[in-house]
Amino acid sequence: MREIVLDTETTGFNPDQGDRIVEIGAVELFNHVPTGRVYHQYINPERAMPQEAFEVHGLGDDFLRDKPVFAKIADAFLTFVGDARLVIHNAAFDMKFLNAELGWVKKGSIPWERAVDTLAIAKQKFPGAPASLDALCRRFGIDNSARTLHGALLDSEILAEVYLELIGGKQPDFALGTAGGNSRSAQSGEEFWKPYRRPNPLPARITEMEKAAHAAFVEKLGSGAIWTKS
């Protein structure tokens, strides 16, 4: 099962009011194990950065001026994401922005049901407890000391660790199939291992001599032998 842990940074809170994405960071998981593949892109929002947003992520107009606009990176982003599930903290926020940006460049939107919201998982698992990314790092003993400002790639890397703890720890799920094989089947949204059917049955390991010896042995036992009963 392929999943993408994803985070964005933006100019504000509402794309309907002209706010834009300025950074995307994403980490690939396969069967809940990081593969080492990441996606990271700064984006020119084609508008001025509000001071309030700059104080959150530190991405200013001068830094973003020579970065590509979203239309130039949309295809590369969609290729990296593919059809994987998207693991996002407060998924409604990021999905709203991603689909707004994709809509503006005439790309298909990402279905909302593909998003796994770690904020919702944390609130359900720890009712009433703080559920911010920093709070969950403290709960699980995850080092987030490098997080002096919000950054999409760093936050997605931290979120990947948090997500694995939320779903039961860092132990992989022991799916015994291989990537791309047909040994796993989806049931209720989860992946379960199933053995392959052999294209050719294994040859018998009993020789003809052994068969004959066994038949002679059974014959000596008479009609009461269990092997003669169906």
57 is catalytic: no
pTM (2 d.p.): 0.73
* Residues contacting residue 218 through CB under 8 Å, at least 6 positions apart: 225, 227, 228
Compute the distance between CA of residue 131 and CA of residue 126 in angstroms, rounded to an integer. 8
Three-class DSSP category at 55: helix
Cα distance between the two ends of the chain? 46
User: Which sequence spans correspond to the domains of the chain?
Assistant: 2-175
Alpha-carbon distance values, 143 to 19, 105, 126, 134 (Å):
31, 38, 20, 10
Q: Flag whether pLDDT at 25 surpasses 90.
A: yes
Q: Which residue has the tokens 């099962």?
A: 1
Structural contact between residues 30 and 2, judged by C-beta atoms closer than 8 angstroms: yes
| Strand arrangement of the beta sheet that strand 85-88 belongs to | 33-42, 21-30, 2-10, 85-88, 115-117
Of 57, 89, 150, 214, catalytic? 150
Give the pLDDT confidence score for residue 195 in this predicted structure: 52
CATH topology of domain 2-175: Nucleotidyltransferase; domain 5 (3.30.420)
- Per residue in 52-89, pLDDT tens? 999 999 999 999 999 999 999 999 999 999 999 999 99
- Per residue in 161-212, pLDDT tens? 999 999 986 554 444 333 444 433 333 334 444 455 556 665 666 777 877 7
Dihedral sign for Cα 158, 163, 168, 170, please: negative
> Would you tell me the crossing angle of helices 118-125 and 152-166 to the nearest 10 degrees?
40
Nearest to 122 by CA among 160, 154, 78, 167: 167
- Per residue in 85-110, pLDDT tens? 999 999 999 999 999 999 999 999 99
Give the pLDDT confidence score for residue 191 in this predicted structure: 44
Give the pLDDT confidence score for residue 16 in this predicted structure: 96
Dihedral sign for Cα 59, 23, 124, 144, please: negative
